[in-house]
Structure 1
Amino acid sequence: MLTEVTATRYVTPLREGGSLPGIVEADDLGTYVMKFTGAGQGRKTLVAEVICGQLARRLGLRVPELVTLQLDPVIGLSEPDQEVQELLKASGGLNLGMDFLPGSLGFDPLAYEVDPREAGKVVWFDAVINNVDRSWRNPNMLVWHGDLWLIDHGATMIWHHNWPGAQASAAKPYDASDHALAPFAPDVAAAAAELAPLVTRELLEEVAADVPDEWLVDEPGFGATDALRAAYVEALLPRAATIHERITLGPRTERRASQPPGWLAERLAPRPQAVEKDRTETGKDSTT
């Protein structure tokens, strides 16, 4: 279970993140990056942060310590930014805190070398959790005291936004072509051999148990929070065992023509009825 602390002072917002996280001080004298239940992405972002962050830590990857943070919105009354005030008002109660790493620097592949073994572990882990937010455009990694630290796992496990299709989604491959560590020749096979056997049902159950009940309630299709926790386990367990066989490392997308996502491509494609009508009226195919 995560340690629970209470926020005592709101220090400043971090505007790099879309969810507007903020730096806060707590009653344990610690300083944390707080992520809010009232942010636009909702509490599923915090669920993903806990499950993926705790799993990474249990596998020996560096992730800042996570805590739950009790927030009284009154601490933001002196904040001059109206957007921040509204976020604090919407986030009273239990939120997520990530240990603040003072003096850390954003990962720069030109300034920091990563050996293939460590790069392979990170790429393999991101494939397991289907992390689409560790690209060369937005690495979501820090360098602190000479070591690489992983942050921001809220955009992972996309299947938990559509549980009826979760098993099919979790079985999909992982394209690591744009991964921030792809240029470092990640040894994914070695990472899988070392880490995959560690991802047991018992480990995943322990990690899922760290998610507070109040972030799991009222999920459609689940009558109890334990059933929802079990669904996360059932999605991650088989993926960890075989995902190394379905990881693609190709050229970055900056070198390829931009392609719309599948759902958008389907909407943009001309409808058969419209094409046939155009042929009838003009005597030619409008797609040529």
Structure 2
Amino acid sequence: MPFPFPGDALAEHWALGAADVHPHHGGMNSATWFVTTDQGRYVAKAVTGSVITPADPALWFRGGIAVADALAARGFRSGAPVRTAGGALTVPWDGGALAVLTMVPETPADDRRAIGATLAGAHRLLRDVRVEGEVGMDWVDPGAAHLGLRPWLRDAVAGAVRDLAAAGPLTTGLLHADPAPEAFIGGGLIDWGVAMRGPLLYDIASALMYLAEDGAGFLDGYRAGGAVPDAELRDALPVLLRFRYAVQADYFARRIVMNDLTGIADGADNERGLEDARRGLHR
């Protein structure tokens, strides 16, 4: 899906004119551009009204940018936002919102223990943080129409939601919500897309999903950070892992029904995502 480059907005709000621009658009929920000017290197990132999310995309985006800002203020490399001339973190754009982020050196973390330790460090730093635009982890609706897409889908998602509700008290905080390995770069964690408050185990389950559930090293690194008690990790992580696959199934089913091709070449990528979620839910 093509997105117009927000050059006028960058010049008006951030005084970033005469820029060397390279479209990136690697994400499935946003548009991004690498921007180089005499002042430095940045990432322009936007969500628009055309991006399909369970809620207002601009609200989610602004909350995530606020979390990244809070982490940066605590010395954590988060891809911090650059404030506008008026001090804002984002500006309205194309029915959504636009931000300019600090470019983080693209040195990927290839050590799983380091990834786990970095995630635990972010969770600890966010323990007492509150930001505008926070949302709860309650957007998966087992009654949603798009879950009728496949015969197995609704019951599997509903079961995962019930299991989470029955899991008992869990350690909660602000989440990254999608900590894929490629987001751990430069010794930090970037791509904060929402200010979501929920069980910290959700982030751990997300990372494990991306690591194909091969948690060797990752969980050791996270445990060393002490953000979640060992007993909670042992007893409740399987429940959160199943719920994470339910979220994935809900997400790709919605994209298929709405024919959302943001960030992908064609609809086959959405179908593969849904099939991966099905296998995870039924494992």
User: Does TM-score exceed 0.5, indicating one fold?
Assistant: no
Higher relative CO (Cα under 8 Å, sequence separation at least 6) belongs to 2
**What TM bracket, shorter-length normalisation?**
0.3 to 0.5
Larger radius of gyration: 1
